[in-house]
């Protein structure tokens, strides 16, 4: 089990803006890595209602269970590595695996036996150092939808915010209110189900 604080800024891109950035930074296709996020919550959206998120990420051949919780200026991420059989169990309707993440959810009064698999989001990602942080370009596909975004992962909120806004300005990219991936995933799921957010 590991924990880290995530501070990141994000902005949705048009397909043309995304392609322009790839060309501007001379990124070749072999630099991209595919990863898949599998999202979980209770039927009552207990995690979402606490502005938290639970996912299993498959990257390479490694499954990682991650709980994201809000903190000042960022997110606290708790990671727990899963075996293939543990991940497969959760993805096919099994209960949440024992460990630190389950213990945290219990302290949040979340009924862990109700944790349910909601679906997956696949991302082609490239990331590289930029200014004081890490610049990330993502092309994501989920529930019949696709989108493009740029993320900037940093250690210092104020410096990162300035550098990210300067970056967007220098490439004439308008600042867009951008929800995180799981929020966009849930919005698309609501639309599929004919529900309101």
Whether this model's pTM surpasses 0.85: yes
Q: What is the pLDDT of residue 197?
A: 47
Instruction: List Cβ neighbours of 117 (8 Å cut-off, separation of 6 or more).
Output: 38, 39, 40, 90, 91, 92, 93
CA neighbor of 122 nearest in space, from 37, 65, 28: 37
Residue ranges making up the domain that contains 67: 2-193
Mean pLDDT of 125-138: 98
Q: What is the pLDDT of residue 186?
A: 86
Band the pLDDT of 195: cuts 50, 70, 90.
Answer: low
Encode pLDDT of 136-146 as tens digits.
999 999 999 99
Q: What is the domain count for the chain? A: 1
Q: What is the pLDDT of residue 194?
A: 63
**Which CATH number goes with the domain that contains 156?**
2.40.320.10
């Amino acid at each position: 089990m590991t924990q880290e604080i995530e501070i990141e800024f994000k902005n949705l891109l048009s397909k043309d803006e995304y392609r322009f950035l790839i060309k501007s930074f001379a990124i070749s296709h072999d630099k991209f890595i595919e990863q898949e996020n599998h999202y979980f919550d209770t039927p009552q959206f207990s995690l979402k209602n606490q502005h938290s998120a639970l996912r299993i990420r498959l990257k390479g051949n490694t499954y990682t269970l991650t709980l994201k919780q809000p903190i000042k200026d960022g997110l606290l991420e708790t990671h727990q590595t899963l075996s293939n059989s543990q991940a497969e169990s959760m993805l096919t309707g099994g209960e949440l695996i024992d460990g630190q993440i389950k213990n945290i959810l219990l302290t949040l009064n979340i009924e862990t036996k109700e944790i349910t698999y909601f679906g997956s989001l696949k991302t082609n990602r490239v990331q590289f150092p930029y200014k004081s942080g890490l610049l990330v370009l993502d092309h994501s596909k989920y529930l019949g939808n696709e989108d493009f975004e740029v993320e900037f992962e940093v250690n210092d909120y104020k410096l990162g915010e300035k550098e990210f806004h300067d970056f967007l300005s220098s490439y004439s990219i308008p600042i867009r209110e951008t929800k995180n991936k799981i929020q966009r995933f849930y919005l698309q799921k609501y639309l599929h189900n004919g529900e309101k957010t």
